A and B are shown apart, each in its own frame.
Chain A
Amino acid sequence: MAKAPKQNAEDYLRMYRQMVRIRTFEDNANQLYLSAKMPGLTHMYSGEEAVAVGICEALRVTDKVTSTHRGHGHCVAKGADFKAMFCELLGKEEGYCRGKGGSMHIADQSNGNLGANAIVGGSMGIATGAAFSAKLLGKDDVTVCFFGDGATAQGLWYEVMNMAALWKLPVIYACENNGYSEYTRTEEIAAGSITARAEAFGIEAHQVDGQDVLAVNALTDGLVARARKGEGPFFIELKTYRYHGHHVGDINREYYRSKDEEKDWKENRDPIVRFRGWLVSEGVASEDEIEAMNAEIKEDASAAVQYALAAKYPDVSEVDMHVFTDVEHALA
C-alpha cells in the first residue's frame, strides 16, 4: 500500500466502509437482476471500489462529480443513501430520480453527483462545464469527471480538454482503465498512450494503481488542492479491473478475457482485501471490528433492498411531469 495521506483512524475506517458499501450494493444489485426483480440491466462497479472511494474521499460535498453507466460506485462514494439508490434501480417513487432515471441515470444533486450517463463519454462536457461555472461564479469547487478507457475514444474529450486547459478550469479527468472497452480489449481500441493524450494539451497527467485506495486518495488530495487554487485541469489514469462483465447479463466472456485473468485480479489485487490487510497490520482495526462492520453493512443493504422491493411505483400521472421545470404536466 502507498504511504497514508490521512492522519486518523476515523478517515481510514470511513474509506474502508465506503468500499465495502459499494461491493455490497453491487452484490445485491446483481442478485436483484439474477432473480428477475430488477427491470432492465445494470453495470457492476465491483473491483473498482478504490477508484471511486480514493477520489471522492478527497472531495467536499459541494465538489461535483459526473458519473458513467457503471456509476453506482461513484454515487455511493459521493455520499448517497442505499434506500434511495435501490428504489431508483427498481423504478420506485422514492428513488433519487423518482424512478425516471434508473441505474444508468442515477444522480444525487444534494451530494454533488450530477448524474450517471448512458452515453459513453457523454458527461465530459458537463463536468468541464461545472468547472467553468465554479470559476465564473468565483467558487473554489472542483469537479471530477469519471469515465472509462472506452470513453477515451470519443472526440468530445479532446474538445473539452482543450478548453479546460486553455481556461485553466478546476476539473480532474479520471480515467478508470479497467482494461476493457465493453467487450474489447483496450489495446485494440487505444493507439499510443492515454496519458500522452492529456499531456498533448499541456495537462499534467498521472498514472496510479487503482486497486490501492491510499495511493489514489493521496494523489487526488494533492491535485484537488491544486485545482482549487487554479492550477488545473489534471488527468489521472487509474489502472483497475471490473469483476463482472460489461453488464450483468455478460456472463460468458471467455472470448475476450480468461477466467485465469479474472481469478488473478480477484485473488491477488482486490482493493478491499488489500486495504483490510493494511488496516489490521497497522493496528487501525481488528479483524473482529472489520467483520462487525462488514456484517452491519450487509444488514443495511438487505434492509434497503427489502424496503425498495416493497416501495411504491410512481403514480402513472407522473409520466409527463418534469419534462419542463415550469409545466406541471407537459401533456395536460
Chain B
Amino acid sequence: MREITLSQAVNEALAEEMRRDETVFIIGEDVAEAGTPFKVLSGLVEEFGTSRVVDTPIAEPGFMGIAVGAAMTGTRPVVDLMFGDFIYLVMDQLCNQAAKTHYMSGGKLSVPLVLRTNLGATRRSAAQHSQSLHALVAHIPGLKVALPSSAYEAKGLMKTAIRDNNPVVIFEDKLMYQDKAPVPEEEYLIPFGVANVLREGADITLIGTSSMVQVCAKAADILAAEGISAEVIDPRTIVPLDEAALLASARKTSRVIVVDEGHQSFGVTAEIASRINEKAFYHLDAPVLRMGAMDVPVPFSPALEDITVPTPEGVAENARKLVRGELIHAA
C-alpha cells in the first residue's frame, strides 16, 4: 500500500469531501494560498477557489461564529484553527452556541460543523502553542471529539467528521504532520465511537490517545522484549467513547494505564480511569493508572519541556510496576 503523510491524508480527505458535497467549505486564517503554516491545505484553493477556501482576518471568535451560522443554514464549514491553544478564543461560539443549538431548539436546528485544530508539545513553541486541550471540549455535551493517531486515522476520521450532522472537533498531532503511514487509494471512512485495538496483549492494557498511541506502541515493544504482553488500544474518538471496548480489554488484562497528552488533572485519563473503576473494578488486579501531561504550563526550554509529557520509557516503567504488583502511589 502507498504511504502518505498525515498532512497529505487530511488534505485528501478535505478534497474528496469538497468534491463530493459542494456545501463543504474551509474557513480560517491563511488557509488559501498559504495552505496554513503547516502546509496541510496546499493546493485546495487552486481546485476549489476562494469562495470555498476562505481566508479570514485574524479573528477567531468572528470566523467561528460565522461558521456556526453557516452550518445552521445549509452549509458544512470546516473551521481551521491554526493552533489548538486558540480554542480559548472561540469558546463562546463553540460551547455556548454550536454545542447547544440542536438541544436548545428541541432538535429543530443543527450545526454540521468541523473544527479542525491540533495538539501536542515538544515542538519548542512554549505555553501558548503547545497545549492539548481536547478534554476541555469533551466536557461539553453536544460536541464530538476525534483524535487521529496516524495518517490513516486522520483521513478516515476527517471524512466521517465532515459528514456528521453535529459539531465535531478534530485535534491533529502537529508533530505528526510529516509522519507517513499506509493509506489506501480507495475511499474509506472510520466510524466514530469504535476503538482500534492496535495490538493484542494479555498482561496489561495501554489506552493511548492521539500522540500517545505511538508512545504506547513503543512502550509495548519495550515490554514485549521483557516478556510482558501489553494490549494497545486507541479510542479514536473520546466523544463518543467506545467504553465497551475499553472495559472488555480491562477485564481481559486486569491492569490498565491510560495515556493522554492533555494535563493529567480533571482530564481524559481521569475520565477513562474512572469509568473502568466503576464498571470493571472486580476484574482489576491493580489501580488504573493515569499518565497525562504534567500540570504545568508547557515550558519553552527543551530540558524542561521534554519531561512534561509521557514517554515510552515512562509508560513501560509504570507498566512493569503494575504487572509486578507494586502499587506505584502506595503511601
Q: Which residues of A contact B (CB under 8 A)?
A: 64, 66, 95-101, 105, 107, 109, 114-115, 117, 119, 122-134, 136-137, 143, 155-156, 159-160, 162-163, 166, 321-327, 330
By the criterion CB–CB under 8 Å, are A109 and B109 in contact?
Answer: yes
**Could you tell me if A96 and B70 are in contact, using CB atoms closer than 8 angstroms?**
no
A residues less than 8 Å from B63 (CB atoms): 159, 163
The answer to whether residues A125 and B97 also contact, given A105-B105, A325-B165 and a CB cut-off of 8 A, is: yes
In the assembled complex, the CB of A269 is this many whole angstroms from the nearest CB of chain B, namely 34
B106 touches A100 (CB 8 A): yes
Interface centre among B93, B96, B144, B240 (most CB of A within 10 A): B93
Chain A CB within 8 A of B23 CB = yes
- Using Cβ atoms and an 8 Å threshold, which residues of chain B touch A97? 104-106, 108
17 A-B residue pairs with Cβ-Cβ distance under 8 Å, sorted by A, are: A100-B103, A101-B106, A114-B73, A115-B101, A119-B96, A125-B93, A126-B68, A126-B69, A129-B71, A129-B73, A132-B66, A136-B75, A159-B57, A160-B65, A160-B66, A325-B165, A326-B166
Kindly identify, within residues 36 to 77 of chain B, every residue whose CB is under 8 Å from any CB belonging to chain A: 51-52, 56-57, 59, 61-75, 77
Expressed in whole angstroms, the minimum distance between the Cβ of B99 and any Cβ of chain A is 9
Number of interface residues of B (CB under 8 A): 44
- CA A154 to CA B253, docked complex, whole Å: 53
Closest residue of chain B to A134, judged by CB?
A: B73
* Given known A119-B92, A162-B57, A163-B57, contact A132–B106 (CB-CB < 8 A): no
Instruction: For A136, give its contact among B52, B97, B141 (CB under 8 Å).
Output: B52
The reply to whether A122 and B105 form a contact with Cβ atoms under 8 Å apart is no
Known contacts A105-B104, A136-B52; A64/B65 CB under 8 A? no
What A residues does B69 contact at CB under 8 A? 66, 114, 123, 125-133, 143
Q: Can you add 19 more A-B contacts, CB < 8 Å, to A125-B97, A155-B61, A162-B62? A: A101-B105, A107-B105, A114-B109, A122-B92, A125-B67, A128-B66, A129-B65, A129-B70, A129-B71, A129-B73, A129-B77, A130-B72, A133-B74, A136-B52, A137-B75, A322-B105, A322-B106, A325-B102, A327-B240
> Which residue from chain A places its CB closest to the CB of B142 in the assembled complex?
A323
Q: Does B171 sit within 8 A of A, measured CB to CB?
A: no
Contact status of A114 and B72, CB under 8 A, knowing A100-B103, A326-B166: yes
Q: How far is the CA of A127 from the CA of B66 in the complex (A)?
A: 7
- Going nearest first, the 6 A-B pairs with the smallest beta carbon separation are A125-B65, A129-B69, A159-B62, A98-B106, A126-B69, A159-B59
Q: Does B306 contact A (CB under 8 A)?
A: no
Given contacts A115-B101, A323-B102, A324-B144, is CB(A125)–CB(B62) below 8 Å? yes
Q: Is the pair B61, A100 in contact by a Cβ cutoff of 8 Å?
A: no
Shortest distance in angstroms between A210's beta carbon and chain B's nearest beta carbon?
25
Q: Is the CB of A122 within 8 A of B96?
A: yes
User: Is B227 an interface residue when CB atoms closer than 8 A count as contact?
Assistant: no
Chain A CB within 8 A of B164 CB: yes
Cβ-closest chain A residue relative to B144: A324
Cβ–Cβ < 8 Å partners of A96 in chain B: 105-106, 108
User: Chain A nearest CB: distance from B98 CB in Å?
Assistant: 9
Shortest beta-carbon distance, B124 to chain A, in Å?
Answer: 31
In the bound assembly, the distance between CA atoms of A129 and B65 in angstroms comes to 7
B25: Cβ under 8 A from any A Cβ: yes
